[in-house]
Structure formats: C-alpha cells, structure tokens
Amino acid sequence: MRTWKVGDVMTRTVISVDRDASYRNMVDLLIHRRISALPVIDDAGRVLGIVSEADLLRKIEFAGEEEPRIFEGRRRRDERRKSAGRTAADLMSTPCVAVTSDTSIALAARTMHASGVRRLPIIDQAGMLVGIVSRSDLLRVHTRPDEEIRADIEHDVLGVFLIEEADGVSVAVADGMVTLTGKVDRRSSAEMAERLTREVAGVVGVTSTLDYSFDDRRVR
C-alpha cells in the first residue's frame, strides 16, 4: 500500500537567506512573499537553522526591556537575547529540525508536534535544502477526491490483502468518510480491511458493517 511522503506535498521552491541577512530584509521577505519562516543556509546550500515570524517578533515584544527581570528563566533570557539580534545568524533557531523527502507525512506531523514547530525544512542526504513543508501542506492529503481514495482502497487494500474476498466488499466514499459493506470469509479479513482502509491517504474515518462467515479469532 502506497504511503504518502513529504515529497508528495512539500513546497519545492523555497525562499531562503544566508547568515548575514539583515533583520529588515527578512521582515520584507516574509511580508511580501507571504511566508512564515526562512531557512538559513550556508554557501553550499546546507541548512544551518530557520528564522520564523516568532523569532522576528522578539524585537517588538522586548522593545524597551533591555534588562532581564528578577527570577527570569533561561528560556526567557534567550528570547530577550534574540530580541537584540540584527542578522539571521543572531536570530535563527538551531539546531534546525529537518526531515528528508521520503519521510512519511504521519511521521512529519508527529515531528512537528513533538518539536513545537509549524514547518520543516526538507533536506537531502547531504543536508542540502530541497524544499519545505508546513502544517497546511500536510493537510493537502485530505483534499484528495473521493474517487481517488476509493480507487486506492479497492486496488491497494482489497486488491492486495484480500484478493480472494475482494468481490464481496463494496466501498463508498463521501467527503473522505469511507463505508465498507458486504461479506468476507473470515473475521480477521473484515478487521484487516477496516484497519488498512484507515491508513489510506485522505481517509477521514471508516464505518464498516462487513459480515463474515467464520470467526477465526475464536479458534485462535
């Protein structure tokens, strides 16, 4: 069964900057290009870090507050230090959390959540920048037409894992919601069909009323 990868949804044309890019230049890029972050690369194109809107907003947040407050935590001190930054090297978040284009979209989503980031630079095996993926890019998988989803279920699930029982299963898809009806030989086949259908790209949910002739789980 085909697993959707980051390479299927990533943005390949990436606006990036070098270490010496000025604060003002980065603000101009974010606003006029309507993007939310800038990967920072070296002369060879390898990713060094990333500058986000949040990094740039530190200068506004801490305006007029140059001295740390009593009992201010380390993280807050680091943010205050960033507010004085003038170049990408001063402001970028590093080490940069990045993935390769063959990373599954599920793993990319988990990586974003665990790292608390909203986008991931995509690198090749040499660490060179080849793209970027955002939360909204990952959500594109749920814009797939219902007919495409149904075709994948019939071909990649039923046609591969339930070859001898596929003729007894009917698949309907509406707005990403899948309904499986019909009858198969074994209970394990019915459960497998539902489980694998949930893994098909673009599936929002599955309702299965598949019946079976033989409860092979009870025998086991």
What backbone torsions phi and psi does residue 7 show, to the nearest 5 degrees? Answer: -60, -20
| pLDDT for residue 81 is more than 80 | no
Give the pLDDT confidence of 176-197 residue by residue, as tens digits.
999 999 999 999 999 999 999 9
The sign of the CA dihedral 64, 68, 72, 75 is positive
| Fold category of 144-219 in CATH | Histidine-containing Protein; Chain: A; (3.30.1340)
- Are the beta carbons of 88 and 38 closer than 8 angstroms? yes
Domain ranges of the chain: 6-142, 144-219
Instruction: Please report the pLDDT score of residue 76 as a whole number.
Output: 64
Of the chain, the percentage scoring pLDDT greater than 90 comes to 81
Q: How confident is the model at residue 218 (pLDDT cuts 50, 70, 90)?
A: confident
What backbone torsions phi and psi does residue 22 show, to the nearest 5 degrees? Answer: -80, 160
Instruction: Please report the pLDDT score of residue 220 as a whole number.
Output: 57
For residues 184 and 163, what is the distance between their CA atoms, to the nearest angstrom?
11
Instruction: Please report the pLDDT score of residue 134 as a whole number.
Output: 95
156 DSSP 8-state letter: I
| Fold category of 6-142 in CATH | CBS-domain (3.10.580)
Closest CA to 40 of 14, 18, 20, 11: 18
Instruction: Please report the pLDDT score of residue 1 as a whole number.
Output: 77
- Are the beta carbons of 154 and 171 closer than 8 angstroms? yes
- Pick the residue with more confidence: 219 or 36? 36
- Are the beta carbons of 30 and 36 closer than 8 angstroms? yes
Burial of 122 (0-12, 13-18, 19+ CB in 10 A): buried
**In the chain, where does DSSP find H-type helix?**
6-9, 23-33, 53-61, 74-83, 88-91, 105-115, 135-138, 146-152, 159-161, 187-198, 216-219
List b or e across 135-174, with b for residues whose CB sees 16 or more CB atoms inside 10 angstroms: eebbebbeebeeeebbebbeebbbeeebeebbebbebebe
Cα torsion through 53, 58, 60, 61, rounded to 10:
120
What the block records as the tokens of 60 is 């506004």
The reported pTM is 0.81
Q: How confident is the model at residue 70 (pLDDT cuts 50, 70, 90)?
A: low
For residues 185 and 167, what is the distance between their CA atoms, to the nearest angstrom?
11
For residues 209-218, average pLDDT: 91
Give the pLDDT confidence of 17-53 residue by residue, as tens digits.
999 999 999 999 999 999 999 999 999 999 999 999 9
Mean pLDDT (the chain, rounded):
92
Question: Which residue type does 10 have?
Answer: M
